[in-house]
Chains A and B, each alone.
Chain A
Amino acid sequence: MKRTRREILKAGAALAVTAGIPGRAFAQAGPVKVGMSMPQTGSLGAGGQAALVALRLWVDDVNQRGGLLNRKVELIAYDDQTNPANVPGIYTKLLDVDKVDLIIAPYGTVPTAPLMPMAKQRGLLVMGNFSFQVNAKVQHDMWFNNAPWNNASSWSDGFFANGRKLGAKTVAFLAADQEFAQNLANGARELAKKGNLKAVYDQNYPPTTTDFSSLVRGIRAAKPDMVFVMSYPNDSVAIVRAVNEIGIGSGVKMFGGGMVGLQFTPIMASLGSLLNGIVNYNSYVPGMKYPIDDFLKRYAQRAKEAKVDPLGFYLPPFNYAIGQMLEQAVNGAKSLDHKQLAAYLKKNEMKTVVGPIRYGPDGEWANARVVQAQFRGVVDKDVEQFRSPAKQVVIYPDAYKTGTVIAPFEKARKAKK
Chain B
Amino acid sequence: MFFSFELLLEALMFGVLLGCFYTAVSIGLSVSFGLLDVPHVAHPAIMVLGSYATYIVASQGLDPILSGVLLMPVFFVLGVLVYRFYYESFERRGTEAGVRGLAFFFGLAFIIEIGLILVFGVDQRTVEAAYIGESLELGEYRIPYRMLVAFGVALVLTFSLTLYLSKTFTGRAIKAVAQDEPALRLMGANPVRIKQWAFGIATGVSALAGALLIIVGPVEPAIDRLYIGRTFCIVVLAGLGSMTGTLAAGLILGIAESMVLMFFGASWAPAVAFGLLLLVLGVRPQGLFGR
Which of B21, B121, B221, B262 sits near A217, CB closer than 8 Å? Answer: B262
Chain B hits for A46, CB < 8 A: 121-124, 220
Number of A residues, CB within 8 Å of B: 44
Chain A hits for B120, CB < 8 A: 307
Tell me if B281 is interfacial: C-beta within 8 Å of chain A: no
Taking the closest CB of chain B, its distance from the CB of A304, in whole angstroms, is 11
Taking the closest CB of chain B, its distance from the CB of A13, in whole angstroms, is 48
Are B133 and A221 interface neighbours, CB within 8 A? no
Chain B hits for A266, CB < 8 A: 123-124
Tell me if B147 is interfacial: C-beta within 8 Å of chain A: yes
Tell me if A274 is interfacial: C-beta within 8 Å of chain B: yes
Chain A hits for B124, CB < 8 A: 46, 233-234, 237, 266-267, 270
User: Which of A40, A42, A264, A267 counts the most chain B CB atoms within 10 A?
Assistant: A42
Tell me if A379 is interfacial: C-beta within 8 Å of chain B: no
Number of B residues, CB within 8 Å of A: 44
Tell me if A213 is interfacial: C-beta within 8 Å of chain B: yes
Chain B hits for A49, CB < 8 A: 121-122
Chain A hits for B113, CB < 8 A: 41
18 extra interface residue pairs, beta carbon distance < 8 Å, beyond A81-B222, A205-B269: A43-B222, A49-B122, A203-B266, A204-B265, A205-B267, A208-B269, A209-B266, A210-B18, A210-B216, A210-B217, A214-B15, A233-B124, A234-B218, A241-B133, A245-B134, A246-B144, A267-B124, A307-B123
Are A211 and B14 interface neighbours, CB within 8 A? yes
- Closest residue to A269 on the B side, CB-wise? B123
Docked pose: A247 CA to B137 CA in angstroms: 11
Chain B hits for A210, CB < 8 A: 18, 21, 216-217, 226
- Closest residue to A174 on the B side, CB-wise? B266
Chain B hits for A211, CB < 8 A: 14, 18, 21, 147, 216-217
Chain A hits for B2, CB < 8 A: 218, 221-222
Chain A hits for B21, CB < 8 A: 210-211
- Closest residue to B273 on the A side, CB-wise? A208
- Taking CB atoms and an 8 Å cut-off, the chain B residues in 238-268 that contact chain A are 257-258, 261-263, 265-267
- Taking CB atoms and an 8 Å cut-off, the chain B residues in 1-26 that contact chain A are 2, 4, 7, 10-11, 14-15, 17-18, 21
- Taking CB atoms and an 8 Å cut-off, the chain B residues in 189-243 that contact chain A are 216-218, 220-223, 226, 229-230
Are A40 and B122 interface neighbours, CB within 8 A? yes
Are A208 and B270 interface neighbours, CB within 8 A? yes
